[in-house]
């Protein structure tokens, strides 16, 4: 095997090579859709930030329960919330859910998820059509042949009438079987047939693009069309979205469908979405986590925010850099402090976001011992380096790279929280005062 390691330059010519390029997400170049409720407009695509969305798992007919979950998702950071609209009763409930939200001052736009009977529900329940800010149509579930085309057109006509954007959401689990069959037939006639997977990818991408064209033919503004082609395997999703983004400039809704539960769902979603977002693919994301028993639905929003923040695409919460701990931190003091600080910052953010603009970009370091503690703490805006087991019971605190004081005793956590709060007031409160 060749040794690819480049020789290190001699002293005196230390920087004579090429600098190492800084990694950054590629620019996105899509059209921009406007999803609005009243004066509140959420732009998706183009130069808008990558948006976070989520979906309720309540029975839409249960108006109060659904409105409360929408509120929780919105407060957690979801900028759009989708609800199932599957029956006449659900369609009738939608305007009441909207009213409840308006009463609670929650202006998050609602997206209606339609399958099979969307054409009837949207035409027979105009108040539902108006209360929703966007419709999701699955071209695989609108009906077959000419009837399917007619029913699809019916839904798009409603979108045009009320000026609502539409997501054409293709899903591998409910792919248009006629299209798949015609591609299989065409493949059988090729001298060098494609792999089955490539036919599958082609069917998904074609279904989305052809449906978008059909929506435009009905009169829908192309800027008001979003596309998605969801798959449940990471490499399949990456393949399909790469293909999709090469062939269209519609805004793309990105998500791994049926991601699963817990660590599996979180990691699979992060893996798939990160690759694509880094390539500039994806204008709005949803993390489709199956909640673990007792887990809040908002966990999917927490994961979505973390993905965007980890990639440096957006900042929602101050970031806490913490070492993993090791044999030098055998007590739980370090873990407790890290959790307390993290919980404290997250719980305060709904208030701080308005009071202290810019605080979401703050970096806090909570480190276990002197090995990396002082170094990481100096790089953060504010940091603390705890005493490792067996070290002197003192914890130096660093602010803006300078060691400013050392905490001792058994209330290090409380005192550090107070210092963080004072720092935020001083640094970010000044921004508010200047405005």
d(CA 399, CA 161): 56
> Which lies closer to ligand SF4 via its Cβ, residue 186 or residue 326?
326
> Which lies closer to ligand SF4 via its Cβ, residue 35 or residue 369?
369
Structural tokens at position 291: 């909640």
Q: Which residue is nearest to ligand SF4 (CB)?
A: 368
CB atoms within 10 A of CB 339: 15
Contact between 84 and ligand SF4 per CB under 6 A? no
Contacts 24+ apart (CB under 8 A), 382-390: 382/419, 382/420, 382/423, 383/321, 384/337, 384/412, 384/416, 386/329, 386/333, 386/334, 386/337, 386/412, 388/328, 388/329, 389/328, 389/329, 389/330, 389/331, 390/328
Identify the residue among 122, 307, 367, 382 touching ligand SF4 (CB under 6 A): 367
d(CA 48, CA 35): 12
Q: Any binding-site annotation on 160?
A: no
CA dist 159 to 10, 113, 273, Å?
A: 67, 13, 29
Contact between 387 and ligand SF4 per CB under 6 A? no
Contact between 267 and ligand SF4 per CB under 6 A? no
d(CA 125, CA 145): 25
Identify the residue among 388, 407, 413, 424 touching ligand SF4 (CB under 6 A): 388
DSSP 8-state secondary structure symbol assigned to residue 250 = S
| Candidate segments 110-118, 136-144, 180-188, 362-370, binder of ligand SF4 by CB under 6 A | 362-370
Orientation of helix 63-76 relative to helix 299-310, angle to 10°: 20
Contact between 107 and ligand SF4 per CB under 6 A? no
Contact between 392 and ligand SF4 per CB under 6 A? no
Q: Binding-site residue total for ligand SF4 (CB under 6 A)?
A: 13
Q: Which residues of 85-120 are buried (b: 16+ CB within 10 A; e: fewer)?
A: bbeeebbbbbbbbbebbeeeebbbbbbbbbbebbbe
394-399 and 382-385 as β-strands: parallel, antiparallel, unpaired? Answer: antiparallel
Structural tokens at position 373: 């503690």
> Going residue by residue from 40 to 79, which x/- string records binding to ligand SF4, judged by CB under 6 A?
----------------------------------------
93 near 60, Cβ under 8 Å? yes
Identify the residue among 78, 328, 345, 413 touching ligand SF4 (CB under 6 A): 328
d(CA 211, CA 344): 47
Contact between 369 and ligand SF4 per CB under 6 A? yes
Identify the residue among 62, 372, 403, 429 touching ligand SF4 (CB under 6 A): 372
Q: Which residues of 147-176 are buried (b: 16+ CB within 10 A; e: fewer)?
A: ebbebbbbbbbbbbeeebbbbbbbbbeebb
Helix (H) and strand (E) counts in the chain: 13, 17
> Which lies closer to ligand SF4 via its Cβ, residue 316 or residue 398?
398
> Which lies closer to ligand SF4 via its Cβ, residue 145 or residue 390?
390
> Going residue by residue from 9 to 38, which x/- string records binding to ligand SF4, judged by CB under 6 A?
------------------------------
Q: Where are the alpha helices (DSSP H) in 163-192?
A: 177-188
Identify the residue among 46, 371, 378, 427 touching ligand SF4 (CB under 6 A): 371
Structural tokens at position 59: 């029975």
| 3 Cβ neighbours under 8 A, 6+ residues apart | none
Smallest distance, Å, CB 384 to ligand SF4? 12
| Candidate segments 24-32, 151-159, 173-181, 371-379, binder of ligand SF4 by CB under 6 A | 371-379
Contact between 112 and ligand SF4 per CB under 6 A? no
Identify the residue among 323, 337, 341, 382 touching ligand SF4 (CB under 6 A): 323
Contact between 373 and ligand SF4 per CB under 6 A? yes
> Which lies closer to ligand SF4 via its Cβ, residue 280 or residue 374?
374
Contact between 395 and ligand SF4 per CB under 6 A? no
Smallest distance, Å, CB 367 to ligand SF4? 5
Smallest distance, Å, CB 423 to ligand SF4? 22
Contact between 265 and ligand SF4 per CB under 6 A? no
Strand, coil or helix: 342 = helix
Q: Which residues bind ligand SF4 (CB under 6 A)?
A: 323-326, 328-329, 367-369, 371-373, 388
Which residue numbers belong to the known binding site for [4Fe-4S] cluster? 323, 326, 369, 376
């Amino acid at each position: 095997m060749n040794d690819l390691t480049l020789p290190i330059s001699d002293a005196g010519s230390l920087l004579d090579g090429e600098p190492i390029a800084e990694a950054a997400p590629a620019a996105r170049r899509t059209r921009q859709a406007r999803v609005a409720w009243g004066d509140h407009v959420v732009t998706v695509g183009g130069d808008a930030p990558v948006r976070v969305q989520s979906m309720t798992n309540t029975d839409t007919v249960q108006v109060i329960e659904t409105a409360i979950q929408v509120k929780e998702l919105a407060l957690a950071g979801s900028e759009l919330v989708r609800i199932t609209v599957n029956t006449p009763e659900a369609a009738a409930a939608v305007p009441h859910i909207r009213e409840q939200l308006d009463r609670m001052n929650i202006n998050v736009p609602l997206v209606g998820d339609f399958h099979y009977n969307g054409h009837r529900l949207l035409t027979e329940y105009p108040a539902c059509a108006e209360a929703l800010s966007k419709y999701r149509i699955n071209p695989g579930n609108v009906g077959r042949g000419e009837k399917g085309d007619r029913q699809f057109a019916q839904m798009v006509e409603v979108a045009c009438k009320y000026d609502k954007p539409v997501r054409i959401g293709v899903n591998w689990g409910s792919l248009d079987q006629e299209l798949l069959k015609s591609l299989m037939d065409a493949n059988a006639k090729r001298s060098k047939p494609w792999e089955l997977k490539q036919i599958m990818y082609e069917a998904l991408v074609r279904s989305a693009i052809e449906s978008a064209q059909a929506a435009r033919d009905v009169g829908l503004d192309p800027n008001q069309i979003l596309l998605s082609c969801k798959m449940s395997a990471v490499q399949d999703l990456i393949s399909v979205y790469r293909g999709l983004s090469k062939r269209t400039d519609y805004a793309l809704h990105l998500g791994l469908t049926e991601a699963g539960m817990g660590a599996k769902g979180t990691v699979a979603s992060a893996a798939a979405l990160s690759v694509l977002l880094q390539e500039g693919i994806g204008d709005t994301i949803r993390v489709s986590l199956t909640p673990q028993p007792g887990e809040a639905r908002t966990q999917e929003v927490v994961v979505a925010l973390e993905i965007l923040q980890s990639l440096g695409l957006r900042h929602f919460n101050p970031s806490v850099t913490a070492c993993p701990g090791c044999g030098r931190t055998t007590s739980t003091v370090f873990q407790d402090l890290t959790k307390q600080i993290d919980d404290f910052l997250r719980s305060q953010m709904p208030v701080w976001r308005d009071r202290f603009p810019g605080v979401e970009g703050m970096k806090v370091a909570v480190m276990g011992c002197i090995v990396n503690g002082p170094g990481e703490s100096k790089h953060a805006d504010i940091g603390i380096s705890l005493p490792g087991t067996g070290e002197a019971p003192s914890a130096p605190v660093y602010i803006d790279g300078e060691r400013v004081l050392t905490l001792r005793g058994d209330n290090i956590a409380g005192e550090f929280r107070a210092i963080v709060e004072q720092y935020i007031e001083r640094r970010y409160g000044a921004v508010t005062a200047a405005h």
